[in-house]
Structure 1
Amino acid sequence: MESRQVIKNRVAFLEQKIPKYAAALGITVLLILWEIVCRLQIVPPLFLPAPTEIVKAGWEMISTGELHENLFASLYRIVVGYAIGAIVGIIIGLILGFSKWADAIFTPIVYSIYPIPKIALLPLIILWFGIGEMPKVAIIALGVFFPVVINTFSGVKNVDPILIKAAVTFGSNHLNVIRKVILPGALPTIFAGLKLSAGTSLLLLVSAEMIAAEKGIGAMVLHYGNLMITTKLMVGVLLLSLLGLLFNRGLQWLERKLIPWK
């Protein structure tokens, strides 16, 4: 009996650890295969540089300060734009979900504007705000706003009405009902919108920087693509991939903190 319990404990331990190590193992195998393909020149280096060459190019860009400058420019735009779009989207979504009048008047407007590709509005936004940081921040905020407001609205509508009636019956005012019943009930759906808009914000960041920026990861990728320096181009691409991963992990951590019952 004791030996069986020991085996069960070891199996349970491995089941917990394998998913964590599997991701790192998969990435390691991919990088090794990538390096082998490049070293054997199966694919020309111009089209697919080796990981070691990309690391060398990245180190060179760090040494010259070029990478820091472009990274910080992009981080400022995406953090500010994402924060504005997410905060405004959550507030408007709560209002639309809680107020029948606001729902009837503004929800059709939100759904009619949502399908418009936001990058198509960049020239118009540049006309409104001029050339600078504001148009790029605004286009990211717009891209984040719509998924967040729609998911927040859906989350509020899906909250059990019995819980709301119970809170009102026990004397809670509108603010307490929103803060203690509706918002916690809608949080899982809100975070689904936040995660969805994280990817959208990166796409809009790169697109905006390629069109109307001198600094930033998107502008850097476009610049080295035009010069056909693929090692430095891949540094930008991998950096964007890392940013997306960190963004997603950060939202998952925040979700675990705010929604422990999930």
Structure 2
Amino acid sequence: MSVEKKKITNRVAFLEQKIPLYASVLGIAGLIILWEAVCQLGIVPPLFLPAPSAIILAGWDMLTNGELVDNLLASLYRIVIGYSIGATVGILVGLILGFSRWFDAIGTPIVYSIYPIPKIALLPLFILWLGIGELSKVTIIALGVFFPVVINTYSGVKSVDQMLIKAAVTFGSNYFNVIRKVILPGALPMIFAGLKLAAGTSLLLLVAAEMIAAQKGIGSMVLHYGNLMITTKLMVGVLILSLLGLTFNRVLQWIEYKLLPWK
């Protein structure tokens, strides 16, 4: 093997090598240690940036008195229900728009015309229509999830090889089987891309909705302690939101791995 070929082989092997898990752990640990050191040295006042140790103590206090659990359960209820409804309807509508020319011609312009509207701007209107209870919050989350999912599902359906669809129809498959065995598997990578994007959107809408119209929830808790300038407890809420986002992403990755082993 020539020297040039060896160099190319080594570069490919370097790009394909797996990064060990401890590298990510060390990166996060290093960031936390640096954060603690900056706070302990007094470089940044505790009011503006509390130390991780102070945040942990505040979080433990909120956990033991039940405040953190109550707010977390309220937020989880809203986001799970809203995300599930928005994702389910988005996938179904995306499949229909992508598969049917008539629905594509009628529905796609409507979806793309409504999509750019900031969903949180519609919350006051939803409160007027649906009341200040849970329904308005769940609806705004479901609406925010719906659009990224429907657009990615639609794009995934359109990216499926038409020759595969024609072959399935030629061999006598009905519409349902074509969707279930050809279109849906081919569109799944794009569908999961939309689901991951929608997970972040759902968290943003959850926090905004809870800050505007909720007595309980992580967003309401963050706003409350921000108004009181208790930044340790405010940071507890921010870190909980970060962990929720990470958890949702990992769960979706695990489901994607199970459904798409070839990917």
TM-score above 0.5, yes or no: yes
Instruction: Tell me, yes or no, if structure 1 residue 112 matches structure 2 residue 113.
Output: yes
Report the secondary structure of 1:228's partner residue. Answer: coil
Cα offset, 1:128, TM superposition: 1.0
**Matches of 1:63 and 1:175 in 2, distance apart?**
52
3-state SS of paired residue (1:46): coil
The one-letter amino acid of 2:93's match is I
C-alpha deviation, 1:19, in angstroms: 3.4
AA matched with 2:44? V
| Runs of 5+ consecutive residues of structure 2 not aligned to the other structure | 1-12
Name the CA distance, whole Å, in 2 between partners of 1:34 and 1:232: 17
User: What TM-score do you get using the length of structure 2 for normalisation?
Assistant: 0.93
Is structure 2 residue 85 aligned with structure 1 residue 84? yes
Cα offset, 1:144, TM superposition? 0.3
1:137 paired residue number: 138
Corresponding residue for residue 248 of structure 1: 249
Runs of 4 or more consecutive aligned structure 1 residues displaced over 2 Å after TM superposition: none
SS at match of 2:215: coil
Which aligned pairs between 1:13-92 and structure 2 lie closer than 5 A?
15-16=17-18, 18-92=19-93
Which residue is 2:221 aligned to?
Answer: 220
Please name the residue that 2:7 is paired with.
none
What's the CA shift string for 1:36-86, capped at 9, x where partnerless? 000000000000000000000000000100000000000000000000000
1:166 is aligned to 167
Q: Deviation per CA, 1:191-240, whole angstroms, max 9, x where unpaired?
A: 00000111000000000000000100000000000000000000000000
3-state DSSP of counterpart to 1:245 = helix
Q: Which runs of 5+ in 1 are unaligned?
A: 1-10
Map 1:178-189 to 2 at 5 A.
178-189=179-190
Between the aligned partners of 1:252 and 1:187, the Cα distance in structure 2 is 12
How far apart in 2 are the matches of 1:108 and 1:161?
23
Q: Which amino acid aligns with 1:38?
A: C
SS in 1 for 2:20: helix
Report the number of matched residues. 250
Aligned partner of 2:148 in structure 1 is 147
User: Which residue is 2:4 aligned to?
Assistant: none
